[in-house]
Amino acid sequence: MTLRLIKNAPAAIGVLDLQGGVHEHLDHLERLGIAHKKVKQEADFTDLAGLIIPGGESSCIAKLLNIFGIKKTILNAHRRGMKIWGTCAGAILLAKKVINETPCLGLIDMEIERNSFGSQLDSFVNEALIPAVAGEPIPLTFIRAPKITRVGKDVHILLKIDDYIAAAENENILVTVFHPELTGCLALHRYFALKCGLQPASNKQDCIDRHWESSSWTRLARIN
């Protein structure tokens, strides 16, 4: 497929390649026909329209940001207009306030609590309608998920479930406490691409890629 770009937009979305679900996100971007690449060092940020910080272990990723010396690079790129999407651990890293912990990047005015549902054994799946993202319910996968407990006035709530916020955004930041990359749903990756000023090459608006399998991402791990 040929990538179509909105005028003057940089060409690619990067996935932070330090720890966590990197290849799963790359697989979804590839299915949408969006140019994508792994990001690990300062030079990798050239011409990025957006950056995905994947789920994983937030304290581990925070330490690696300092070890690899790219925390400041991310902040500078964001100031220049790069959009950022944090999933699960990524959302924790982007929050201005983390309950009982020191925040990391602090780029979206919200409060978040780590491991709010309990241990790994308390992971679960669900589905919900997010009207701004898709016209039909999308699958949600929660793995040792955090809860967003409060957002500032400049933050728009995309999805609230019971007493917590599961997805939110401001002008430049998108956060989800669940893992869209672990399902066949492309809706949120399409939504983020459009937020970045990129037009997916595929005109299909279906939420679910019927050719996706839970092991689809492994081909990218073998290649890279």
Q: What domains can be seen in the chain, in order of their start residue?
A: 4-223 (3.40.50.880)
Residue 158 and residue 130: Cα distance in Å, rounded?
6
Active site annotation includes 211: no
Q: What is the pLDDT of residue 143?
A: 84
| CB-facing half-sphere around the CA of 77: CA atoms within 13 A | 26
Regarding beta strands 147-151 and 36-39, do their DSSP bridges make them parallel or antiparallel, or are they unpaired? Answer: unpaired
Contact 62, 93 (CB under 8 A): yes
Residues ≥6 apart with Cβ < 8 Å to 111: 95, 96, 97, 98, 99, 148, 149, 150, 151
Which residues face 37 on adjacent strands?
14
Contact 80, 140 (CB under 8 A): no
Both tokens of 181, joined, read 């990359």
Active site annotation includes 171: no
Q: What is the pLDDT of residue 11?
A: 83
78 φ/ψ sector (left φ>0, alpha ψ -120 to 50, else beta): alpha
Exactly one of 23, 25, 36, 88 is catalytic; which is it? Answer: 88
Residues ≥6 apart with Cβ < 8 Å to 181: 21, 24, 25, 27, 28, 54, 55, 87, 189, 217
DSSP state of 43: G
Cα-based angle 196, 32, 168 (whole degrees, multiple of 5): 45
Residue 101 and residue 167: Cα distance in Å, rounded?
21
pTM of the predicted model over 0.75: yes
Exactly one of 23, 36, 179, 189 is catalytic; which is it? Answer: 179
Contact 126, 137 (CB under 8 A): no
Active site annotation includes 88: yes
Q: What is the pLDDT along the chain (224 residues), one digit of tens a residue?
A: 334 444 455 589 999 999 988 999 999 999 999 999 999 999 999 889 999 999 989 999 999 999 999 999 999 999 999 999 999 999 999 999 999 999 999 999 999 998 766 555 556 788 999 999 999 999 999 888 899 999 999 999 999 999 999 999 999 999 999 999 989 899 999 999 999 999 887 655 557 676 756 665 555 665 55
Q: What is the pLDDT of residue 167?
A: 97
DSSP state of 7: T
Exactly one of 24, 113, 169, 181 is catalytic; which is it? Answer: 181
Both tokens of 211, joined, read 């050719």
Contact 192, 83 (CB under 8 A): yes
Give me the phi and psi of 161, to 5 degrees please.
-125, 125
